[in-house]
Amino acid sequence: MNHFCKNVLICSYAVFSLACSHSKKPAELKPEDGAPVQELSVASLKAAPQVAKEKLLDAIVSNYQGQVVLVDFWATWCTPCLMAMHEIAPLKEEMKAQHVAFVYITGSTSPRADFEARMKSIAGDHYYLTEEEWTYLLQTLDINGIPTYRIYDTKGKLQNMFTGYPGTQEMRQLLGKYFSPQA
């Protein structure tokens, strides 16, 4: 089974699982405390660094030295990705003072027009990669499904990687481990 088919199969399973556990559409979801979600309006499209694909992710992460970095690999057609972005929105606002960078990476499996329309309501820095760059990262980082997250400490060292949104409370705890200067 080729890599793309495995991704579609995994995402389809995730959509089915998520649909069974949520009866509301993403726009109707609320954070754990029940308050309405306030979408942040600061979304920024960044040009991918002009480096060899082998150095691409390191070059992206190096732009955020001194910050905890959450890298989210996603696609516009991935319902679990979109639901997770909606759920994490209040956490982004809460973590502004801790200087957490929210970085979103997608590729050519997301139609460019859809990507540009969706990213406007997803606060953070967005990178749209070429098919070659996207495929390379998925394969070399062993990303078998999306959303996949990578957490880097303030020195740019990878601390955690996981697939599937763990929930806002767990994400808060995971990111909170790396705020201190000793990280």
User: Does domain 3-176 correspond to CATH entry 3.90.1300.10?
Assistant: no
Q: pLDDT value at position 104?
A: 98
- Parallel, antiparallel, or unpaired: how do β-strands 148-152 and 158-163 relate? antiparallel
Looking at the DSSP assignment, which residues form a beta bridge with residue 149?
72, 162
Strand 43-46: give its sheet, edge to edge.
43-46, 124-128, 100-106, 68-73, 148-152, 158-163
Rounded CA Rg of the chain:
16
Q: What's the whole-model pTM score?
A: 0.77
Give residue 127's region: left, alpha or beta (phi > 0; psi -120 to 50): beta
Q: Determine which helix (DSSP H) or strand (DSSP E) holds 68, and give its type and residue range.
A: strand 68-73
- Parallel, antiparallel, or unpaired: how do β-strands 100-106 and 68-73 relate? parallel
Average pLDDT over residues 52-63: 96
What residues does each domain of the chain span? 3-176
C-alpha to C-alpha distance for 30 and 154, rounded to whole angstroms: 30
Q: Which two tokens stand for residue 45?
A: 């499209």
Q: pLDDT value at position 52?
A: 93
Each residue's pLDDT tens digit, 69-128: 999 999 999 999 999 999 999 999 888 888 899 999 999 999 999 999 999 999 999 999
In single-letter form, the type of residue at position 130 comes to T
Burial 78-109 (b: 16+ CB within 10 A, else e): bbbbbbbbbbbbbbbeebeeeebbbbbbbbbb
